[in-house]
Amino acid sequence: MLGNFDFDVIRRSLSYLFLDGMTFTLTLTALATCGGIIFGTLIAMMRLSGLWFLSRFAQLYVDLMRSLPLVLVIFWFYFLVPYIGQWLTGSSRPVRVGAFASSLITFTLFEAAYFAEIMRAGIQSISKGQPAAASALGLTYGQTMRYVVLPQAFRNMLPVLLTQTIVLFQDTSLVYVLSIPDFLGAASKVAQRDGRLVEMYLFAAVVYFLVSSVASFGVRRLQARIAIVR
């Protein structure tokens, strides 16, 4: 089998795979992680809110997103949202939503549901005496969350947040269904162009494995360091 394995096709494609494909994948992962954490934190605070309608809305959002396949959400947003935009704006034609913007918004909204549950657990892990003490010092609810609760919650949940980011990195390969040249999409194009499916898909699998393994090792080291400090 290895006698027919063409290593040269991988070598010739390295610049395209990493400069175009991996750059897109890492960019999408970073932006979706930042957006997902910000939006997820807001959802988590809504779930913990004393206002029942905010809490109920946040719960329904999390349950809905976590019950849908990600690939379905990608297709739904990419193909249906332009027509929803046309209906809302009264335009004569569907509103154009680019592939990158579509994938970024999709991943941000989808991952926010998972980040929200992580942040909710982090917030609830903080001793109730600390918000009470902050309130006694005259801090408002917003100041208490900003200066007392959320910094500690982020610290407690940082390893879990990073682990979810690794999952997000792997999930970004699903944008392949939109013909976006992410790392897997770039590998697929080379494979179909040169007729070397085994080589390119195997190489893509090895790269995803190495990146995820190194990142997971870093998360474990960080988790051990945090545990020692605490």
- Residues 88-102 have pLDDT tens digits of 788 888 888 778 888
For residue 206 the two structure tokens come to 């090895």
pLDDT-based confidence at residue 203 (cuts at 50, 70, 90): very high
Domain boundaries, the chain: 2-229
What residues contact 89, with CB distance under 8 A and at least 6 apart? 95
CATH superfamily ID and name for 2-229 = MetI-like (1.10.3720.10)
- Residues 9-25 have pLDDT tens digits of 888 888 999 998 999 99
CA torsion angle for 124, 129, 130, 135 (degrees, to 10)?
A: 110
pLDDT-based confidence at residue 3 (cuts at 50, 70, 90): low
pTM: 0.87
- Residues 120-153 have pLDDT tens digits of 888 888 888 888 888 888 888 778 888 888 888 8
The candidate with the shortest Cα–Cα distance to 204, out of 195, 194, 212, 214, is: 212
